[in-house]
Amino acid sequence: MRARDDAPMERRMIAAARRFLFFDPSSSSLLLCLLLSLLSANNGIVSAANAPLKFGINYGQIANNLPHPAQVSGLIRSLNVNRVKLYDADPAVLTAFAGTGVEFTISNGDLLNMSDAGNARAWVAQNVQPFLPDTRITCVILGNEVLSGTDAAAMQSLLPAMQAVHQALVDLGLDGQVNVSTSQSVNVLASSYPPSAGAFREEVVQYMRPLLDFLAEVGSPFLINAYPFFAYKASPGSVSLPYVLFEPNPGAHDPGTNLTYDNMLYAQIDAVYAAMEAMGHKDIAVRISETGWPSAGDADEVGATVQNAATYNGNLMKRVAAGQGTPLRPDVPVDVLVFALFNENMKHGQASERNYGLFYPNGTSVYDLGFDTASFSPSPRASGFSSSSKPTVSMKALDRLSYLRLNANFTCKSIGTKTVPKRHYFLNYIDVEKENFTKPNKVEKLQVL
């Protein structure tokens, strides 16, 4: 699930899931958050049941066997993905995606440090500014599910950190390109039944009210991590599996709005909208920063199967591709970042935590979602996906690459077959296959293309 390694969070999510058992359509009883347009015209067509896929994805890296970012860039460019979210600001990843058109969201969880204006500006100057405009960073997320935790200092620092980073973006002239938000669990809701009665937990209201005021002021969305899997896992006997998997079901009626819901995720989204409206905000968009379904789990993790994962993500992607909105906001297409790109073998917790990926680290699909990756092949200079923990490019070379990119407005002359245009760049060269970093005898400038 979440790319950050926080096993206790699962227990809180399960507790939240019990409150989200607000509909059981089968019995008609009421029980129960790198962002980027992908230029993929020449990279093959992706289909799921003949529908084009348009979705974002979470690129977590809690693993020791993932491919090098340059190879990941090739994989993502073979898909119809329009946004990527990182859980840090990894310069190797941001450099690898330069010139691809992919839109990135990057994250920073160091709220205490980011609350200081000087630290915030230094972080933006080092981790955001050098990569623009070549890598399309469009959002910085501060904190991940902190309002569902117990760290009072982090909760108190959340808004000041967001304000400081936003001001740093303003000072550096980047606020027109990059916005600031936060991603929170649906556990911030005390009530979600029916969706029209959605309300925030009393203990987070003191943080939520000024946070929403800030998001409205700067025009940023509110990001939510929502996992219907946890609701089903917590109470499989009373939660309708078709309802959580977007499969045909009788639907659930909300008497407060006279709307009918045919899936749990959309009901959760509308519960968040209702909770914000109760605080006076109808002017903030809700976006799903994480959702997904594990393809495997422990014996007690009911529903964690390949079939259910393929059904959940496949049906969700079809709805996203169709531009579908929720019953409460039918004209606002649901905006989703699926969790996750890869299975991550070093995540703690139950087995499901390590099995949310759409792909294995070797680049093969965990299950069939209609991805046409036949057009994807690694660069001739890159020896393909590697399942070993050894990176394709040596760390020494990678460190040198990152240093040059940050300090000399640098990008590789070429990775694969394309030269990155738009600026003058200092010429250095990475030989991916031989894992050598070579530097010319004299520094040249590349002609602007």
Which of 170-174, 188-192, 383-387, 421-425 is least confident?
Answer: 421-425
Residue range 176-183: average pLDDT? 98
Question: Is 24 in the same domain as 149?
Answer: yes
399 and 251 part of one domain:
no
The pLDDT tens digits for 343-400 are: 999 999 999 999 999 999 999 999 998 765 544 443 333 334 544 333 333 333 433 3
Does residue 10 have an active-site annotation? no
Residue 444 in domain: no
Q: Taking a C-beta distance cutoff of 8 angstroms, is the pair 356, 339 a contact? A: yes
> What phi, psi does 182 have (nearest 5°)?
-145, 150
Determine, yes or no, domain membership for 342: yes
Least confident range of 10-24, 279-293, 311-325? 10-24
Residue 245 lies inside a defined structural domain of this protein: yes
Does residue 236 lie in a domain region? yes
Q: What is the pLDDT of residue 370?
A: 76
Quote the CA–CA distance of 20 and 32 in Å, as a whole number.
Answer: 4
Tell me what pLDDT residue 78 has: 86
Q: Is the pLDDT of residue 416 over 50?
A: no
| pLDDT of 104 higher than 90 | yes
Structure tokens at 335: 């905006």
Cross-strand partners of 223:
183, 287
CA 108 – CA 224 distance, rounded (Å): 16
pLDDT of residue 446: 31
Q: Which is catalytic among the residues 103, 145, 344, 353?
A: 145
pLDDT at position 160: 98
Where does the pLDDT of residue 192 fall: very low under 50, low under 70, confident under 90, or very high at 90 and above?
confident
Which of residues 354, 385, 407 is at a domain's end?
Answer: 354
Tell me, yes or no, whether 170 and 259 share the same domain.
Answer: yes
85 with 199, same domain: the answer is yes
* pLDDT at 17 > cutoff 60: no
Is pLDDT above 60 for 223?
yes
- Same domain for 332 and 433, yes or no, is no
Q: Are residue 312 and residue 425 in the same domain, yes or no?
A: no
Angstrom distances, CA of residue 193 to CA of 205, 227, 232, 260: 18, 16, 16, 13
**Look-up of token digits 């330069």:** 98
Confidence check: pLDDT of 169 > 80: yes
- The 3 state secondary structure assigned to the chain is CCCCCCHHHHHHHHHHHHHCCCCECCCCECCCCCCCCCCCCCCCCCEECCEECCEEEECCCCCCCCCCHHHHHHHHHCCCEEEEECCCCCHHHHHHCCCCCCEEEEEECCHHHHCCHHHHHHHHHHHCHHHCCCCEEEEEEEEECHHHCCCHHHHHHHHHHHHHHHHHHHHCCCCCCCEEEEEEEHHHEEECCCHHHCEECHHHHHHHHHHHHHHHHHCCCEEEECCHHHHHHHCCCCCCHHHHCCCCCCCEEECCCCEEECCHHHHHHHHHHHHHHHCCCCCCCEEEEEECCCCCCCCCCCCCCHHHHHHHHHHHHHHHHCCCCCCCCCCCCCCEEEECCECCCCCCCCHHHHCCCCECCCCCECCCCCCCCCCCCCCCCCCCCCCCCCCCCCHHHHHHHHHHHHHCCCCCCCECCECCCCCCCECCEEECCCCEEECCCCCCECCCC
Identify whether the C-beta of residue 256 lies closer than 8 Å to the C-beta of residue 196: yes
**The pLDDT of residue 369:** 86
CA distances from 186 to 227, 237, 259, 383, 438 (A): 8, 22, 21, 42, 49
Share of the chain above pLDDT 70, in %: 70
Q: What angle do CA 356, 358, 362 make, to 5 degrees?
A: 110
Q: Residue 188 belongs to what domain range?
A: 7-354
User: Among 354, 377, 412, where does a domain finish?
Assistant: 354
Domain count across the chain: 2
Tokens 């991603």 map to which residue? Answer: 183
Confidence band for 448, pLDDT divided at 50, 70 and 90: very low
Query: What is the rounded distance in angstroms from the CA atom of residue 334 to the CA atom of residue 269?
Result: 9
Are 337 and 399 members of one domain?
no
Measured CA to CA, the distance from residue 241 to residue 264 in angstroms comes to 10
**pLDDT, mean of residues 179-192:** 96
- Has residue 15 been placed in a domain? yes
Q: Look at the alpha carbons of 401, 403, 405, 409 in this order and tell me if their dihedral is positive or negative.
A: negative
* Residue 304 pLDDT exceeds 70: yes
Q: Which is the catalytic residue, given 10, 103, 290, 353? A: 290
Q: Is 290 a catalytic residue?
A: yes
- Same-domain pairing of 125 and 230: yes
Q: How far, in whole angstroms, is CA 445 from its chain's centroid? A: 36
Residue 2 lies in a domain: no
Assess contact for 438 and 431: CB atoms under 8 A. Answer: yes
pLDDT at 371: 67
Calpha distance 46→81 (Å, rounded): 9
Query: What is the tens place of the pLDDT at every residue in 25-54?
Result: 333 333 333 233 322 333 332 233 333 345
Phi-psi region of 248 (alpha: psi -120 to 50; beta: other; left: phi over 0): beta
**CATH classification at residue 58:** 3.20.20.80
Short-list 301, 319, 288, 287, CA closest to 355: 301
What pLDDT does residue 372 have? 56
In a domain, 428, yes or no: yes
361 assigned to some structural domain = no
Mean pLDDT over 62-67 rounds to 98
Same domain, 416 and 305: no
Please check whether residues 325 and 422 belong to one and the same domain.
Answer: no
